[in-house]
Amino acid sequence: MENRQKENRIITDGLSYRYPEAERDAVSDVALRVRAGEFVCILGHNGSGKSTLAKLFNALYVPTEGTVWVCGMDTKDDELVFDIRQNAGMVFQNPDNQIVATVVEEDVAFGLENNGVPPQEIRVRIDEALAAVGMSERAKKAPHMLSGGQKQRVAIAGVLAMRPSVIILDESTAMLDPSGRAEVMNTVRRLNREEGISIVLITHFMTEAAQADMIYVMDGGKIAMTGTPREVFSQIGRVRALGLDVPPMTALAETLGKAGLPVRPDVLTVEEMVEEVCRLQSKG
Amino acid sequence: MLNDITLGQYYPGNSPVHRMDPRCKLLLTVAYIVGVFLIGNLPGYLLALAFLWLVVRVSGIRFSYLLRGLKPLRFILVFTFILNVAFTQGQTVLFAVGFFRLTREALENAIYFSLRLVFLVMGTSVLTLTTSPVQLTDALEHLMHPLARFGFPAHELAMMMTIALRFIPTLLEEADKIQKAQMARGADFESGNLMARARAMIPLLVPLFVSSFRRANDLAMAMEARCYRGGEHRTRLRELRYTRLDFYALLCMIAFFVLIIAEGMLLG
Ligand SMILES: Nc1ncnc2c1ncn2[C@@H]1O[C@H](COP(=O)(O)OP(=O)(O)OP(=O)(O)O)[C@@H](O)[C@H]1O
Ligand SMILES: [Mg+2]
Atom of ligand 1 nearest to the CA of A50: 21
> Looking at residue B40, what is its pLDDT?
83
A133 in Cβ contact with A94 (< 8 Å): no
What is the phi/psi pair of residue B95, to 5°?
-160, 160
> Looking at residue B7, what is its pLDDT?
41
Q: Which residues surround ligand 2, an ion (CB under 5 A)?
A: A 51
Rounded Cα distance between B137 and B135, Å, is 5
Whether B225 has its CB under 8 Å from any CB of chain A: the answer is yes
Whether A106 has its CB under 8 Å from any CB of chain B: the answer is yes
Q: Are strands A198-202 and A39-44 parallel, antiparallel or unpaired?
A: parallel
What are the tens digits of pLDDT across the range B50-69? Answer: 999 999 999 998 888 888 77
What number is the average pLDDT over the span A40-61?
A: 96
Burial of A203 (0-12, 13-18, 19+ CB in 10 A): buried
- Helix boundaries (H) for A32-96: 50-57, 81-87
Same domain flag for B7 and B121: yes
B147 in Cβ contact with B158 (< 8 Å): no
What number is the average pLDDT over the span B5-25?
A: 79
Same domain flag for B181 and B259: no
Whether B163 is covered by a domain: the verdict is yes
What number is the average pLDDT over the span B183-210?
A: 82
Cα–Cα nearest to B66, from B82, B83, B54: B54
Interface test with B, best of A56, A108, A113, A123 (most B CBs within 10 A): A113
Ligand 1: which of A24, A50, A168, A171 to mutate, most ligand atoms within 8 Å of CB?
Answer: A50
Same domain flag for B123 and B251: yes
What number is the average pLDDT over the span B115-133?
A: 89
Same domain flag for B120 and B248: yes
Whether the per-residue pLDDT at B246 is higher than 70: the answer is yes
Whether the per-residue pLDDT at B97 is higher than 90: the answer is no
Beta-carbon contacts of residue A142 (< 8 Å; ≥ 6 apart): A102, A103, A104, B169
Ligand 2 center–CA B145 separation, angstroms: 39
What number is the average pLDDT over the span B235-255?
A: 92
Ligand 2 center–CA A56 separation, angstroms: 13
- Helix boundaries (H) for B131-153: 133-144
A277 in Cβ contact with A252 (< 8 Å): no
Same domain flag for B109 and B67: yes
Whether the per-residue pLDDT at A101 is higher than 50: the answer is yes
What number is the average pLDDT over the span A256-284?
A: 88
Report percent pLDDT > 90 for chain B.
34
Contact check, Cβ <8 Å, A85/B226? yes
CA dist list (Å): A186 to A28, A43, A132, A192, B124: 32, 19, 11, 10, 47
A residues 30..89 contacting B (CB < 8 A): 55, 58, 60, 82, 85-86, 89
What are the tens digits of pLDDT across the range A139-178? Answer: 988 898 899 999 999 999 999 999 999 999 999 999 999 9
Whether the per-residue pLDDT at A1 is higher than 60: the answer is no
- Helix boundaries (H) for chain A: 2-7, 50-57, 81-87, 104-114, 119-132, 148-160, 178-195, 206-209, 229-233, 236-241, 248-258, 270-283
What are the tens digits of pLDDT across the range B208-222? Answer: 999 999 999 999 999
Chain B nearest-CA distance from A226, in A, is 27
Mean pLDDT of the residues in chain A: 93
Confidence of residue A5 (pLDDT cuts 50, 70, 90): low
What are the tens digits of pLDDT across the range A8-18? Answer: 899 999 999 99
Whether B162 has its CB under 8 Å from any CB of chain A: the answer is yes
Same domain flag for B39 and B122: yes
What are the tens digits of pLDDT across the range A69-92? Answer: 999 999 999 999 999 999 999 999
Fold assignment, A2-246:
Rossmann fold (3.40.50)
**B135/A215: higher pLDDT:** A215
Length of chain B counted residue by residue: 268
Confidence of residue B204 (pLDDT cuts 50, 70, 90): confident
Same domain flag for B12 and B64: yes
Split into its structural domains, chain B has a count of 2
Same domain flag for B110 and B189: no
What number is the average pLDDT over the span A128-138?
A: 94
Same domain flag for B40 and B114: yes
Contact check, Cβ <8 Å, A94/B218? yes
Rounded Cα distance between A167 and A196, Å, is 11
Confidence of residue A44 (pLDDT cuts 50, 70, 90): very high
Contact check, Cβ <8 Å, A116/B226? no
Domain boundaries, position B205: 154-225
Whether A105 has its CB under 8 Å from any CB of chain B: the answer is yes
Confidence of residue B202 (pLDDT cuts 50, 70, 90): confident
> Looking at residue B22, what is its pLDDT?
94
What residues are paired with A167 via a beta bridge? A89, A199
The one-character DSSP state at B61 is -
Length of chain A counted residue by residue: 284
What number is the average pLDDT over the span A234-239?
A: 93
What is the value of pTM for the model shown? 0.85
Same domain flag for B118 and B23: yes
> Looking at residue B268, what is its pLDDT?
67
Confidence of residue A110 (pLDDT cuts 50, 70, 90): very high
Mean pLDDT of the residues in chain B: 86
Q: Is B12 helix (H, G, I), strand (E, B) or coil?
A: coil
> Looking at residue B4, what is its pLDDT?
35
Q: Is A92 helix (H, G, I), strand (E, B) or coil?
A: coil
Same domain flag for B107 and B205: no
Contact check, Cβ <8 Å, B239/A86? no
What residues are paired with A8 via a beta bridge? A35
> Looking at residue A166, what is its pLDDT?
97
Same domain flag for B123 and B211: no
A22 lines ligand 1 (CB under 6 A): yes
Atom of ligand 1 nearest to the CA of A54: 18
A24 lines ligand 1 (CB under 6 A): no
